[in-house]
Structure 1
C-alpha cells in the first residue's frame, strides 16, 4: 500500500497545501486524493465526513492514520527541503504547541482565505 493524503478539494488552503507538498515530494511517495473522491469511491467508512473536512488525513503504507498536525509532520519528513523542520517537530513537547497551531489554522481557514473562498466552503466548520 502507498501513502495516501486526503485533503478537502473545496478548500483553497487545502488545495494550496497539497500543491506545495506535491512539489516538495521529489520521490513521489504520496498519492493525493480529495476527500470527495475518497467518499465517492466508497472507501472504508473509518472516517467521519466531518473529520475529513476538519483536518488533513494521511494513511501510511502500514495502514496507520495520521491526522492534522501529525500528518503534516510526517509529510515534512519526505522532502530534503523540509526534512529538518519535520525533525524539529519530532522533538519532545513540540507537539504541544504544533498541534494547537495546526488546529487554530484549520479552524480559522475561512478567515485566513476569505478572498480565495468565494463559495464559503472553508467556513463549513467555522465556530
Structure 2
C-alpha cells in the first residue's frame, strides 16, 4: 500500500512518522505527493492511498491504513461506524481544511516558495 501524504503539512508528516512506527510488517510505503512530477489537485485536499490498483481518499484512506496497523485494529469498528453515520468524513474534512501548510526545504536566498492559496 502506498500512502501519499503532504510533506508541506506538519500534521501529515507527523502522522506518517507514527504510522511507520506502527507498521511492524512493513505493509505501508510513504511518498510525499509533492515529490511527484505531477499529481492530481485533489491530493492537496485529501489523503490518498493506493492499494492493489485501487485508490482510497480521505477518511476511507485512514480506514485502509488502520487495517494494516495491528495497534489500530481495535478502533476499526468505530471508524466504520463513524463512516456509516457520516461523522468520520465530516471530522476529516474539517481537520483537512484547517491544516497549516509550511513548505520544508523550499526556501532559498530569494525567499520561500509557498503553496498556492487553496480557496
Deviations 1:59-114 (A, max 9, x none): 012x110001000111112122111112321237545000010010000112xx8x
Once residues 51 and 99 of structure 1 are traced to their aligned partners in structure 2, the CA distance between those partners, rounded to angstroms, is 15
Q: 8 Å contact 1:11–1:122 — kept in the other structure?
A: no
Backbone CA RMSD of aligned residues: 2.5
Alignment of 1:53 with 2:53, yes or no, is no
Consecutive aligned runs of 4 or more in structure 1 exceeding 2 Å deviation: 91-95, 117-125
Match of 2:72 in 1: 82
Look up the match of 1:15: 13
Point out the structure with the larger strand share: 2
| Structure exhibiting the larger radius of gyration computed from Cα positions | 2
The residue number in structure 2 matching 1:106 is: 96
Distance 1:123 1:17 in 2: 23
| Conserved 8 A contact 2:82-2:88 | no
> How many residues matched?
111
Measure, in 1, the Cα distance between the counterparts of 2:21 and 2:49: 17
The separation in 1 between residues aligned to 2:83 and 2:11, in whole angstroms, is 27
Distance (whole Å) between structure 2 residues aligned to residue 122 and residue 86 of structure 1: 34
User: Does structure 1 conserve the Cα–Cα contact (< 8 Å) formed by 2:23 and 2:68?
Assistant: yes
- Does the 8 Å CA contact 1:10/1:121 hold for their aligned counterparts? no
Residues 28/96 of structure 1: CA separation in 2 closer, same or farther (3 Å cut): same
TM-score of the superposed pair, with normalisation by structure 1 = 0.75
